[in-house]
A and B are shown apart, each in its own frame.
Chain A
Amino acid sequence: TQLLEQSPQFLSIQEGENLTVYCNSSSVFSSLQWYRQEPGEGPVLLVTVVTGGEVKKLKRLTFQFGDARKDSSLHITAAQPGDTGLYLCAGLGFGNEKLTFGTGTRLTIIP
């Protein structure tokens, strides 16, 4: 079974601070996705990283895929209250559409 461990599990910081969320696995994935989920809603895709070492930026969010394609990180600069939510990483297997979701990081940004 492929497992994706996220850390930290919970994070509460002040508006304006920076933070990093980690997603780690012992398995290799064909690609890695990051989703954000808000209360009462389904997850929404933020980004997909495909190539080992790839870095993608989405405004204040920076996503990186590990060289070995087993891990990923999400860095948020100058966090805003609108960044509050549950962040989920998800690894895509090879030759199929099966996503394995991480354990999740619940982020709270305090105004």
Chain B
Amino acid sequence: DAGVIQSPRHEVTEMGQEVTLRCKPISGHNSLFWYRQTMMRGLELLIYFNNNVPIDDSGMPEDRFSAKMPNASFSTLKIQPSEPRDSAVYFCASSLGQVTSNEQFFGPGTRLTVL
């Protein structure tokens, strides 16, 4: 299995532009997670889906952030408009969707820089 796939690996954009991050989870996994990692705040959960349905989006910073999962093999995280404080590494992870002792498999991340 190829693991969790994220694209792009690096993104540099200017403030005010729209940014779309993409994720392909591991085939057969039922849950998908979006995280953000910064030096100041560490690794934070933004939103997670189970069977393509958003379960918890309490970590989404504000209305500029939105996430979709149109099918079991694809998800997007969109930031519109982007701001310099959104600069971070964004990780996507997937799991089998078992509530107890679940293992989350992380992708390589997308490093976002907003100028």
Contacts and interface: CB of A to CB of B under 8 A. Distances in A.
Interface of A: 30-31, 33, 40-45, 48, 50, 88, 92, 95-104
Contacts of A30: 100
B25 interface: no
Contacts of A99: 33, 45, 104
19 contacts: A33-B103, A42-B91, A42-B106, A42-B108, A42-B109, A43-B91, A44-B106, A45-B103, A45-B104, A45-B105, A50-B100, A88-B43, A96-B56, A97-B55, A101-B42, A101-B43, A101-B45, A103-B42, A104-B42
Given A40-B108, A42-B106, A42-B107, A98 B43 contact: no
Interface residues of B, number: 26
Contacts of B101: 31, 48, 50, 92
B104 A31 contact: no
Contacts of B34: none
A13 to B, nearest CB: 22
A104 B99 CA distance: 24
Interface in B29-79: 31, 33, 42-45, 48, 50, 55-56
A53 to B, nearest CB: 16
B104 A48 contact: no
